[in-house]
Amino acid sequence: MNDYKILVNGKMITKKEKLNITSPINSEIIGTVPALSKNDIDKIYRSSEIAFKEWSALEPKLRIKYIEDIKKNLIKMRDEISITMCIEISKPLKSCYQEFDRSIEYIDLTIKSYKDKFMNPKIIDKSIHNVEGKNGFFYRVPLGVVLAISPFNYPVNLSLAKIIPALILGNTVVFKPATQGSLVGSLISKAIYEANLPAGVFNIITGKGSEIGDYLIENNLISMISFTGGVDVGKNIANKKSMIPLVLELGGKDAAIVLKDANIVESAKEITKGTFDYSGQRCTAIKLVYLEKSIADKFIKEVSKNVLELSIGNPIDNPDITPMINQSAANWGKKLIDDAVKKGAKIITGGNMDNNLLFPTVLSEIKKNMLIFDEEQFAPIMPIVIYEDINEVVNSFNSSKYGLQGSIFSKNIKKAHELAKRLNTGTININKSSSRGPDIFPFLGIKDSGFGVQGIDWALESMSRIKGIIENN
């Protein structure tokens, strides 16, 4: 078992007080990280604040060089990071490698976007805009200390998607990985340490959420928070930090609407994947399926065939379904299944659990009085609502407390577009399940799904502000 060190104020440190990280695969302790105290956190924010002056004044091309070095170091650690992720969060190994590669591409795209759109000021003057007597230079400048809080389900991608844009712009970063994800976080900090950034530019905090969770977000030196995680924590952050920019990516209840002219085989395949990838533990997973009545039997038959073919096992062997992140996540899924069944839902397949392994479950005849109709399962469960009137579907969809994404399956693209315009959510996907990527797209949620926009250009925008310098002639 390894004692993982973390980067704090220019040094890789360890501490006597430690946090054990256990694997969801077998509950064994797979490593420890330092359990930082409130005092440690105070020092970290001070070091970030001090480092900001020098880092933000550095020539952009030098900051880019540091980012390139971080990328090189990460690439050298590709196997170590991917395998650690697989064991730490029980994600199929192949998906861990995909996440890693996606993140390297994210770095490249961020560097490109920064160079193309953020490094130079936007000029507003007479020549282009017919402004008399004034030449305006509008720069993008960093905000200060950015607090980046990442979730367990994307410990590399949703960490680097916050850290890299923040750093390249000239912000300093305090990074808090999810507890399950701290080992990967420590490895990311090692890659940054080996790139020799000035002390304090990047700091990582690991420790017990119950002791430092609130304290971490209360510090007055924080200039911006980018958070991905649960709705309750997101709301707590929003309540505590009212006068700084926030980007919050929270939950979702992304529904798929299958119209009667959909290609049944293709849509059943896509919806199976969209529901069960990483055992449904994605904010963009399909969490409710609306099925037109005349195609319901055929679709359910097709989907249950697909689900019965899903492999189950240890993530290192690349199955489709793996043990969930912890026991309480599996218990929550089971509770939603039991509640639905008690209220009349039909189990098409699955419904059982074995410790924290929840078997892939398809539930039909879901009604509004069942918890799973509204609540986010974040688990391998496909609840199906059979509908006759599309207007009722639109009303239900729009009355959800969430508003992240949704999807429509139909051969009639024009009709799908019209329906998409009536759905009140961040993004609608036609004939594809919901998803955040490609990362070049803007990604956002409304209502309880959060606010602020992610994606390459938008992350850079959200972590900087405009500074205008106007020459008056």
Nearer to ligand G3H, 142 or 333 (CB): 333
> Where does this chain touch ligand G3H (CB under 6 A) — which range of 7-15, 77-85, 140-148, 280-288?
280-288
435 touching ligand G3H, by CB under 6 A: yes
- Please pick, among 88, 283, 302, 376, the residue that the annotation labels catalytic: 283
Rg (CA), the chain: 23
Residues 258-277: x where in contact with ligand G3H by CB under 6 A, - otherwise, as a string:
--------------------
Q: Contacts with ligand G3H: how many residues (CB under 6 A)?
A: 9
282 touching ligand G3H, by CB under 6 A: yes
CA distance linking residue 178 with residue 378, whole number of Å: 16
Least distance (Å) between residue 64 CB and ligand G3H: 26
438 touching ligand G3H, by CB under 6 A: no
Nearer to ligand G3H, 48 or 435 (CB): 435
Nearer to ligand G3H, 173 or 285 (CB): 285
> Where does this chain touch ligand G3H (CB under 6 A) — which range of 84-92, 282-290, 325-333, 463-471?
282-290
Q: Is 86 a catalytic residue?
A: no
Least distance (Å) between residue 251 CB and ligand G3H: 9
437 touching ligand G3H, by CB under 6 A: yes
Q: Is 283 a catalytic residue?
A: yes
153 touching ligand G3H, by CB under 6 A: yes
284 touching ligand G3H, by CB under 6 A: yes
- Please pick, among 249, 270, 302, 461, the residue that the annotation labels catalytic: 249
Nearer to ligand G3H, 282 or 287 (CB): 282
167 touching ligand G3H, by CB under 6 A: no
Nearer to ligand G3H, 9 or 275 (CB): 275
Residues 220-249: x where in contact with ligand G3H by CB under 6 A, - otherwise, as a string:
-----------------------------x
Quick one: tokens of 336?
A: 């939603």
Identified binder of ligand G3H from the candidate list 191, 283, 337, 416, rule CB under 6 A: 283
Which contiguous run of DSSP H or E holds residue 78? helix 78-89
Q: Which residues bind ligand G3H (CB under 6 A)?
A: 153-154, 249, 282-284, 435-437
Active site residues per annotation: 249, 283
